[in-house]
Amino acid sequence: MTTRILLSTTSYQDTPGSHHDLLDSQGWEIVRERGPLSEERMLELAGGFDGFLCGDDAITAAVIDKSLPRLKWISKYGIGLDKIDKAYATKKGIPIGFTPGVNHTTVAEHTFGLMLGLTKKIFEAYAHTINGDWKRPTGNEIMGKRLGVIGMGRIGKEVLIRAGAFDMQCSAYDLYWDGEFAKDHDVRRHDTVDGLLRACDIVSLNCSLDDSTRGLIDAGAIASMKDGAVLINCARGEIVDTQAIVDALNSGKLGGYGADVLDVEPPPADHPLFSTPNTAITTHIGSRTYESVVRQATKATRNLINFVNGEPPVAQANEVRPVSSTGS
């Protein structure tokens, strides 16, 4: 029986590159969908695939159950696993491949794009210009400002490296502290999120989403921030309490919010953050560059090829021995 794969990541599909040739060379039957797919849609599709090559689709316990016994592998395009019930997949013996180390440069660059756009009033000035106005808002330099990074993983480190080039003062919070990196890049350590929020002019969220970070930036956290501080979120929309962000922007407590992610994607047309001041929302494109997509897509495809051949993937997110398509 021909190996049948559900491909749902739109970045993979929409971006030209060698990953398409690699996928086509396998002789698999590929079914293409436009993700991220809801649980409802995944349940409609589940049951007829040997593997998922997925983005941020809802792969819940119910989806996994409906997909069995045929489903053997999940290959995640990207690094965020919060939409996959990893514990249940592991329980059912389904290995999960993912692609760490492919998009940290791209996301760090996007973080600075949002940061500069807000602090230098670039987004605001552009809005005036296209509306036929010639208004000249006054912004701020980021040089000398204290930047706080929550999550000093690959992406957080790249943000801190670039902050040094802008002559910013750097702080970070992470449970797993890399002292050597911090020393090399003059990064001040904060033992608590609250301490970092109190100290920083600009805060960048670069942590993963899990039970400890869901709703991390709520009304209480925002109250501890400096008046007029800027918050950048290129991590996950659920890390912040959306209503708390809206309230803080409307009151002026937050001086700006730049995000590449939202709590609901795609969002409704009346999402509350679309009508708040000093806000810039991009459409989850932080890692969507021609360079990064090819790296991610190639690694995700290689993971799946290895799974099908009964070999270890390039990177695996759970402890399950891969099996070949013949069940060996």
The answer to whether the CB of 134 falls within 8 A of the CB of 128 is yes
Q: Which of 110, 146, 154, 284 is catalytic?
A: 284
**Identified catalytic residue from 154, 236, 295, 302:** 236
- Quick count: other Cβ atoms within 10 Å of Cβ 220? 11
DSSP one-letter code for 256? E
Q: Is 236 a catalytic residue?
A: yes
Question: What is the C-alpha separation between 250 and 46, in angstroms, rounded?
Answer: 43
> pLDDT of 7-22, one tens digit each?
999 999 999 999 999 9
Q: How many CB atoms sit inside 10 A of residue 323's CB?
A: 16
Task: Determine the pLDDT at residue 162.
Answer: 98
* Alpha carbon of residue 222 to chain centroid: 22
- What are the φ/ψ torsions at residue 53 (nearest 5 degrees)? -115, 95
**Position 60: which residue type?**
T
Contact 258, 244 (CB under 8 A): no
Question: Structure tokens of 88?
Answer: 């249940």
pLDDT at position 228: 98
Task: Answer yes or no: 124 catalytic.
Answer: no
Rounded Cα distance, 251 and 272, in Å: 14
CATH architecture of 104-281: 3-Layer(aba) Sandwich (3.40)
Domain boundaries, the chain: 4-102+290-308, 104-281
Q: How many residues does the chain have?
A: 328
pLDDT of residue 325: 65
Residues of the chain scoring pLDDT < 50: 327-328
> What is the distance between the alpha carbons of residues 269 and 96, in angstroms, rounded to a whole number?
34
* From 29, 44, 265, 311, the catalytic residue: 265
- The reply to whether 4-102+290-308 and 104-281 are identical in fold is yes
Q: What is the pLDDT of residue 323?
A: 67
Question: Among 3.40.630.30, 2.40.10.10, 3.90.1150.50, 3.40.50.720, what is the CATH number of 4-102+290-308?
Answer: 3.40.50.720
Active site residue 284: yes
Cα–Cα distance between 4 and 57 in angstroms, integer? 18
pLDDT digit string, tens, across residues 176-218: 999 999 999 999 999 999 999 999 999 999 999 999 999 999 9
Cis peptide before 69 (omega within 30 of 0): yes
